[in-house]
């Protein structure tokens, strides 16, 4: 008999909800991954194929994050998000 905790990823995948669950988990962990100060003014938006799309409020923060893309990808892997191969920072007004 399979434990329920072990079957959740399989069920999510079968229902087509695997990406949505990953995005939600990323949103929860984002301040720890990026650091609270840097995460402020950013928002995990979606996962498209193996690319994480992150909204960034201001151009300076977006340029900084883009120049440190490899570091952010490494942090994502450290937190268990190994399937993400690229990250894209886009201009986005944050929801309040």
Pairing of strands 42-48, 51-56: antiparallel
Q: Number of folded domains in the chain?
A: 1
37 φ/ψ angles, rounded to the nearest 5 degrees: -65, -45
User: Does residue 21 lie within any of the structural domains?
Assistant: yes
* Digit-coded pLDDT (tens) for 6-41: 554 554 454 444 678 888 999 999 999 999 999 999
Q: 63 or 15, which is more confident?
A: 63
By the 8 A CB rule, do 25 and 44 touch? no
User: Does residue 36 lie within any of the structural domains?
Assistant: yes
CATH number of domain containing 38: 3.30.300.180
The reported pTM is 0.79
* Digit-coded pLDDT (tens) for 76-90: 999 998 889 999 999
Q: In terms of residue numbers, what domain contains 52? A: 4-91
User: Does residue 96 lie within any of the structural domains?
Assistant: no
DSSP, collapsed to helix, strand or coil, labels residue 90 as strand
* Digit-coded pLDDT (tens) for 9-18: 554 454 444 6
């Amino acid at each position: 008999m399979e434990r329920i905790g072990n079957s959740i990823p399989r069920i999510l995948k079968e229902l087509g909800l695997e990406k949505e669950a990953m995005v939600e988990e990323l949103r929860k962990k984002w301040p720890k991954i990026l650091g609270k100060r840097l995460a402020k003014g950013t928002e995990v938006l979606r996962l498209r194929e193996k690319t994480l799309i992150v909204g960034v409020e201001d151009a300076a923060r977006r340029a900084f994050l883009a120049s440190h893309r490899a570091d952010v990808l490494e942090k994502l892997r450290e937190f268990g998000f190994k399937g993400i191969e690229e990250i894209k920072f886009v201009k986005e007004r944050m929801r309040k």
